[in-house]
Structure 1
């Protein structure tokens, strides 16, 4: 009869359950291990399990409270608890399938209580509910749940298209409102600019007329001074009526000169040298009548 020592190598990312003649003998971690003596090297066997964090992708189809079918995609990250390696190896045939069943059970229990919009806004609460349920149950089988994430929510294609169309219409309405507000603002700004332009033009016109009036007043003053000097009389010796008459006659001749320089080739005017005094008298009477009519009106406004 021949006997020999049995050795086994376990990877650093694995745990191994050693069996001797079918009976559990212990858990071995990474490294090379001497299992013992066996007849012809027989009698020892190992069952290995990875200690790495693994991820399960669970897809579950269910219905919301507003009768919309959705497919929920959940990612579960789990790891073997070294102290409970025996449970992880011997209690479950397929841990991944078991986790998938637990997650699907929670999803089908929670999503039908929500509307479609709430499923999107409350996915963190859904992931938390899945983790609390799966973590408590899988701990009995030697697995620790690191995290549970709801990674995708996919409604039926026709519902997704309707939601996209609804959002597109909402954005079009907002764009139309923004465009209307922009056009309204532009019109208001344009009207304000036009009003400012009119005000500026009126101010410029008033200033021009004011300056023109000052120029005319200075011109007339210079004319009066020239007339006095040409007459060779003192200021006190010339009456105001005489000065006004001379000024009106001068302006009359200036008007005739401007008319002669105009585009018209022929202008007929009733004119006689002896009628200048009559013309001056008529103009003087007109100004006096205008001043007499303005006096009562000013007195009435003062009262």
Structure 2
């Protein structure tokens, strides 16, 4: 009797232990009784009838992600691969539908993604695919929501995470982009060069203007100095002609002195003999005297003609 009691107690202990089970957080357990759906248990410690009830399966209620890669052709006949990431979860109140109505949710979602992407992308050119990737994602989410809600799945978000054209197309696009950037760079360089030329011309013009102004001021001061020198010489009894000649001769000797002070100068001033100064002075005085005589004669001639015209009138 005691020997039989031990196996019975051991078997009863096993059944008691098998009656309890734990469901983890964010998980739902489906309980079947004799192969027929009985209940859905949420997280926590639960009790079932051993050998009668069994855990048919467990479903995660967490948000899951499925990455689907679709290859299709654009409107301008460019083959492109799109990576679409679908974030979804089992609706807590529809665990029954998610468990019994759909065996392979991944395959179902993948099929709908392929269908929508291959319906939307061929309507767009390659550049539009990059610009309107959010529109593609919204279209996929709308289609999936309508289809998967019936099976107990909620589509949280869809994202087009990668767009990969054919390698030759990418190379061509890079060449076009590089050429466009070189064009813009050349335009900027041309504008900069033009600005430099304009500014250089302005600077040169301003320099010439200031140089001319300096020369004019210099000559004005020289003329004023000559005028003062002539006045001083007139005050000591030297007439204007002789004063002018004397000033020129003085400047001649000043120039010779300046040239003599330069050791590496190759300039030769003609005439440069010792008698050149006095000869120059005599020539200038004679020239001024002759000029005055000619001027006086022309005045007398004009005056005589004027008097004859008055007598005839």
Q: TM-score, normalised by structure 2?
A: 0.78
Aligned pair 1:99/2:109, yes or no? Answer: yes
Check whether the contact 2:233–2:239 (CA below 8 A) recurs between aligned residues. no
Deviation, 1:209, is: 1.1
Please list the CA deviations of residues 260-289 of structure 1 after superposition, one character each: whole Å capped at 9, or x if unmatched.
757634455785999997555224347779
5 Å-filtered alignment, 1:25-36, equals 25-35=38-48
In 2, Cα distance between equivalents of 1:61 and 1:109: 12
Deviation at 1:224, TM superposition (A): 2.1
SS of equivalent to 2:239:
helix
TM-score by length of 1: 0.80
Counterpart CA distance in 2 for 1:208 and 1:272 is 26
CA contact (8 A) 2:29 2:58 kept: yes
1:59 is the counterpart of 2:72: no
| Displaced runs of 4 or more, over 6 A | 272-277, 286-292
Q: Match for residue 7 of structure 1?
A: 20
Consecutive unaligned residues in structure 2, runs of 5 or more:
1-7, 260-268, 301-313
- Deviation of residue 214 (structure 1)? 1.4
Report the number of matched residues: 275
Q: Which runs of 5+ in 1 are unaligned?
A: 229-241, 293-303
Q: Distance in 2 between matches of 1:163 and 1:148?
A: 27
More moved, 260-269 vs 62-71: 260-269
Which residue of structure 1 aligns with residue 290 of structure 2?
282
RMSD: 3.1
**8 Å contact kept, 2:230–2:240:** no
1:220 Cα deviation after fit? 1.8
Shift of 1:33: 0.4
Residue 219 of structure 1: CA displacement? 1.9
- In structure 2, the CA distance between the partners of 1:216 and 1:42, relative to structure 1 (3 Å rule), is same
Name the counterpart of 1:89.
99
Residues 92 and 139 from structure 1, CA distance in 2 versus in 1: closer, same or farther, beyond 3 angstroms? Answer: same
User: Hey, what does 1:181 align to over in structure 2?
Assistant: 191
Q: Distance in 2 between matches of 1:105 and 1:211?
A: 96
Q: Tell me the residue number matched to 2:3.
A: none
Contact in 1 for aligned 2:20/2:45 (Cα 8 Å)? yes
